[in-house]
Amino acid sequence: MSNAPRYASRIARMKASEIRELLKLIDRPEVISFAGGIPDPELFPAEAAREAYAAALRDPAVALQYGVSEGHAALRAWIAAEMRRDGVPAGPDNILITAGSQQGLDFLGKALLSPGDTVLCEYPTYLGALQAFSAYEPRYDQLRPGGNRTPASYIGRAAKAGGAVKALYLVPDFANPTGLTLGAGERADVLRLAEELGALVIEDAAYRALRFSGVASPSLQALDVAAAGDLERSRVVYLGTFSKTVAPGMRVGWVCAPAALIAKLTLLNQASALHVSSINQIAMLKLVERGYEARIADARTHYRRKREALLDALERYGRGLAWTIPEGGLFSWLTLPEGVDAAKLLERALSEVRVAFVPGAAFHPDGSGTNTLRLSYSLPTTERIEEGVWRLSRLL
Amino acid sequence: MSNAPRYASRIARMKASEIRELLKLIDRPEVISFAGGIPDPELFPAEAAREAYAAALRDPAVALQYGVSEGHAALRAWIAAEMRRDGVPAGPDNILITAGSQQGLDFLGKALLSPGDTVLCEYPTYLGALQAFSAYEPRYDQLRPGGNRTPASYIGRAAKAGGAVKALYLVPDFANPTGLTLGAGERADVLRLAEELGALVIEDAAYRALRFSGVASPSLQALDVAAAGDLERSRVVYLGTFSKTVAPGMRVGWVCAPAALIAKLTLLNQASALHVSSINQIAMLKLVERGYEARIADARTHYRRKREALLDALERYGRGLAWTIPEGGLFSWLTLPEGVDAAKLLERALSEVRVAFVPGAAFHPDGSGTNTLRLSYSLPTTERIEEGVWRLSRLL
């Protein structure tokens, strides 16, 4: 009837990246998937995009031609203004347009990391960041914002056995995979640690615009600029994207950083894909100029409703489990009873109750977190969310 | 009146990449530019692109969503069929969609090169390839197809002082920058050398579709597959692109290679920009499904006319100069009298007669070729081409 068992038997021997690829394929209608982590296509602005592309093509000599590697000037200016609204005094020279924030991670890895250098990140953390960095062969060490009582000097010494700590990577708002948001004390702690280690902070803000409850915290970059007095002296690099707010298929994101670093990353972009698609940059500008706020408001309402469905269902059926309560974004993080292996649970969930999720070990550089898993509520309907949690509870 | 003198004074102390960036900026109407090397926007299919994007957006859940890292399945199949028509028995598993052929160069550098490894390339060669590879810190040695009487064993030994020869890079058809095409003997020579060295051949086919005179040679990949009996055993990696035949601003190209290498490059793509823009891949497929042949025929006619204008003008005004006669593509290569420095000539050309070109030393990894320069006939009208050559001749 379905090939879920065949998939499931492969899961046990698969690497994290392979699990991710596999789970993308599980879009058969009988499976309720909490695995994806991709935006709900119901939110995609199809009609507005048709208009935006048609408008871009009214100047084909620009939209279809090569462009400069730093990105389309008017889009950089628009993003700089958006960054200023979020507390970062950026100008266009502080913005590089990238093919999603993922490409920014790759360029930062290439610019910063040599084999053996240390990257500090939370355990668990975003898998794609580990993939991007790992091409440059760093080692990873655990960052515990606020909960880290290890002195910086100790972390620094431990790192130097390999290579210096070059970067602290984190998703401060509604993190992938945990859904958690750093508080003010934790943010201060991260910035202090980076200062003591002389390392950059890579702030992955992929979900930041999608807050649907609670009060926004200033971004790490805004806090650091306020302390340093100037974006040019900040040690925070901010990665933004339109993938979660407009459409990932257009592959448009950005890096906001001191101008000297932007110039360096621009050369890496030139040596890689030359530049982000001209027509996509122009169409994206037209899309965000007309109703970015309204689009984000829609997305917030949409995902808040789905989160409510998930949390309600977990309250109802989640005896013995612990989960995070996200104030935005697409994810909640589930902790199973001690000793329950989420990868094995996924095998059974797929074959017995047709539910998919991502086992938590995939997000841990050290393979720990075997009794955790990530639930994304972005794709299923609220009814399917409830049904999926109920099905899962029957297994546990 | 203009800031050409200011530009010119900077040229002398600039690096090759900076010269290229600068020359892109020289689009002031009083300057006749042979510098660009970009396609003529007159050829861009604006109306067809409007239709293609509108058609792609009839399925927004695919066009605006994340896609798989190997690329849109139907586009890979279309390209595989196109490769088969060109003598390479490729299937979709042999194709990775990249953001132009430039991104393929970056991924190949990342997959193949360690610091100190040797890349053999022609002197002069495509600057963007050197930029892509140089991020991975290889050394370069000169490839002389057909003219190389140095035994492979010697090249191999010399290379091992640094690191092994990992790749031979070349543009066999209407090369950037020389406009030259390898003959059958030279192609056989390159493949034999690669075999003896145990190295990959990177065939940059950016201009291959734009032949407008003479008879097509089989691609290096087609020749190698015929000899090896199977694409999976070939040592040639083919880089294709729609940048010169459809539109560079869409950033869609491809790598054709054995399936195992494609799988490896796909992982690098996933770790870099995840995948090429979904909507651009789908729109490109719609554009090439309807009238790719007609579009290429138009481009051939268009550039042949411009080449004729350039060659006619050089015949008339080019006393004391030597130049190549391209059978396709966008470039001719000029050799000045011994001792004349093309970089100094560019300064005078910009300030005194308002003509731009790219000095040839920029394309030489060893900085030689100072009395050579690249002329691109793609952008100026035939009248401006004649006028530009006449202006240049007044300087010489």
Tell me if A328 sits within 8 A of A213, measured CB to CB: yes
- pLDDT value at A217 more than 50: yes
- The per-residue pLDDT for A302 is 97
Are residues B373 and B240 part of one domain?
Answer: no
Q: Which residue of A has its CA nearest to B46?
A: A60
| Same domain membership, residue A85 and residue A28 | no
Residue type, A343: A
pLDDT digits (tens, 9 = 90+) for B49-77: 999 999 999 999 999 999 999 999 999 99
- All residues of chain A having their beta carbon less than 8 Å from the beta carbon of residue B103 are 272-273
Are residues B32 and B176 part of one domain?
A: no
Q: Pseudo-torsion of CA A170, A176, A177, A180, nearest 10°? A: 70
Q: Is A89 in the same domain as A102?
A: yes
> Which tokens belong to B215?
């008879």
Question: Per-residue pLDDT averaged across A116-137, rounded?
Answer: 93
What is the structure's pLDDT at B3?
Answer: 33
Q: How far is B237 from chain A (nearest CA, A)?
A: 17
Same-domain pairing of A18 and A76: no
User: Residues of chain A with pLDDT > 70: what percent?
Assistant: 89
Domain identity same for B187 and B110: yes
**Residue found under tokens 């900026």:** B25
Of A202-211, B140-149, B342-351, where does mean pLDDT reach its minimum?
A: B140-149
Does A251 share its domain with A207? yes
pLDDT per residue as tens digits for the range B177-227: 999 999 999 999 999 999 999 999 999 999 999 999 999 999 999 999 999
Q: What is the CATH number of the domain that holds B135?
A: 3.40.640.10
Q: CA nearest B131 in A: which residue? A: A271
Contact A251 B273 (CB under 8 A): yes
Mean pLDDT of chain B: 90
pLDDT bin (cut points 50, 70, 90) of residue A274 is very high
| Among A53, A64, A276, beta carbon nearest to B41 | A64
Residues in chain B within 8 Å Cβ distance of A274: 99-100, 102, 128, 251
pLDDT over 80 (residue A4) = no
B9 against A289, higher pLDDT:
A289
Chain B residues inside the 8 Å CB shell of A132: 271-272
Nearest CA in chain B to A61: B41
Q: What does each C-alpha distance from A27 to A2, A49, A329, B180 come to in angstroms?
A: 12, 25, 21, 50
Mean pLDDT of A198-216: 96
Among chain B residues, the shortest Cα distance to A69 is held by: B21
Subunit contact A132:B61, Cβ cutoff 8 A: no
Rg of chain A over Cα atoms, rounded to whole angstroms, equals 21
Are residues B248 and B136 part of one domain? Answer: yes
**DSSP character for A353?**
I
Chain A residues within an 8 Å CB radius of B61? 41, 44
Taking CB atoms and an 8 Å limit, are A272 and B272 in contact across chains?
A: yes
Q: Which residue of B has its CA nearest to A275?
A: B251
B-chain CB neighbours of A53 within 8 Å are 50, 53-54, 57, 279
Given pLDDT bands bounded at 50, 70 and 90, which one contains residue B362? confident
Residue numbers in A near B70 (CB within 8 A)? none
**B122 versus B17: which is more confidently predicted?**
B122
* A238 and A185 fall within a common domain: yes
pLDDT above 50 for B128: yes
Q: Which residues contact B18 (CB under 8 A, 6 or more apart)?
A: none
| B282/chain A closest Cα distance in angstroms | 11
Q: What is the pLDDT of residue B36?
A: 83
Q: What is the pTM of this model?
A: 0.92
Instruction: Give the DSSP H/E element, type plus range, for residue B393.
Output: helix B382-395
Of A66, A68, A248, the CB nearest to B65: A248
The pLDDT of residue A303: 97
Residue of B nearest to A42 (CA): B61
What pLDDT, on the 0 to 100 scale, is given for residue A7? 37
Greater confidence, A93 or B25?
A: A93
Query: Which residue in chain B is spatially nearest to A22 when comparing CA positions?
Result: B68
CA distance A110 to chain B (A): 8
Set of chain B residues whose Cβ sits within 8 Å of the Cβ of A63? 249
CB half-sphere exposure, B129, CA atoms < 13 A: 28
Asked if A275 contacts A71 with a C-beta cutoff of 8 angstroms, the reply is yes
pLDDT at residue A9 in the model: 36
Domain boundary among the residues A275, A290, A305 is at A290
Same domain, A101 and A225: yes
Q: Do A268 and B135 touch (CB under 8 A)?
A: yes
What phi, psi does B358 have (nearest 5°)? -110, 120
Alpha helices in chain A (DSSP H): 4-11, 16-25, 46-56, 60-63, 73-85, 100-112, 127-134, 152-160, 184-197, 220-228, 259-272, 278-289, 292-317, 342-348, 382-395
Say which residue, B26 or B21, is predicted with more confidence. Answer: B26
Nearest chain A CA: its distance from B252 CA (Å): 9
Count up the domains in chain A and report the number: 2
Q: Are B153 and B105 members of one domain?
A: yes
**B306: containing domain:** 4-43+294-395
- CB-based contact B54 A53, cutoff 8 Å: yes
Domain-ending residue, one of A252, A272, A290: A290
CB contacts, 8 Å: A44 with chain B = 60-61, 64-65
Flag the least confident range among A183-187, B157-161, B309-313, B318-322.
Answer: B157-161
In 3-state terms, what secondary structure has residue A332?
A: strand
Among A64, A99, A110, select the one facing B49 at the smallest CB separation.
A64
Task: For residue range A238-252, list pLDDT tens digits in order.
Answer: 999 999 999 999 999
- Select from B62, B64, B274 the Cβ nearest to the Cβ of A100: B274
How far, in Å, CA of B121 to CA of B168, rounded? Answer: 6
Strands B200-204 and B236-241 come out as parallel
- Residue A147 confidence (pLDDT): 66
B41 vs A61: CB contact, 8 Å cut-off? yes
Q: Which residues of B touch A267 (CB under 8 A)?
A: 17
Determine which of A135-149, A279-293, B97-111 has the lowest per-residue pLDDT on average: A135-149
pLDDT of residue B192: 93
The CATH code of the domain that includes A304 is: 3.90.1150.10
pLDDT at A10 over 50: no
A156-172 pLDDT per residue, tens? 666 666 678 999 999 99
CA distances from B274 to A104, A203, A365 (A): 11, 19, 20
pLDDT band at residue B145, thresholds of 50, 70 and 90? confident
- Using pLDDT thresholds of 50, 70 and 90, give the confidence band for residue B6: very low
A–B CB contacts, 8 A cutoff, strictly below: 173
A-chain residues near B53 (CB < 8 A): 50, 53-54, 57, 279
Confidence of residue A154 (pLDDT cuts 50, 70, 90): low
Reported as a pLDDT band with limits 50, 70 and 90, residue A6 is very low
- What's the pLDDT at A2? 33
For residue A321, pLDDT beyond 60:
yes
Q: Could you say which of A268, A274, A279 has the minimum Cβ distance to residue B102?
A: A274
* Interatomic CA distance for residues B311 and A333, integer angstroms: 68
Give tens-digit pLDDT for B274-317: 999 999 999 999 999 988 999 999 999 999 999 999 999 999 99
Given a cut of 90, whether residue B175 has pLDDT beyond it is yes
Q: Which of the four pLDDT bands, split at 50, 70 and 90, describes residue A30?
A: confident
B268 to chain A, closest Cα gap in Å = 8
Nearest Cβ partner for B65 among A41, A135, A270: A41
Three-class SS of residue B368? coil
Could you say which of B46, B64, B132 has the minimum Cβ distance to residue A247?
A: B64
- The predicted structure's pLDDT at residue B155: 67
- Please indicate, yes or no, whether residues A218 and A346 belong to a single structural domain of this protein: no
CA–centroid distance for B66 within its chain: 29
Last residue of one domain, picked from the residues A290, A317, A332: A290
Query: In the prediction, which pLDDT does A160 show?
Result: 62
User: In Å, how far is B228's CA from the nearest CA of chain A?
Assistant: 31
- Whether A280 sits inside 8 A of B276 (CB atoms) is no
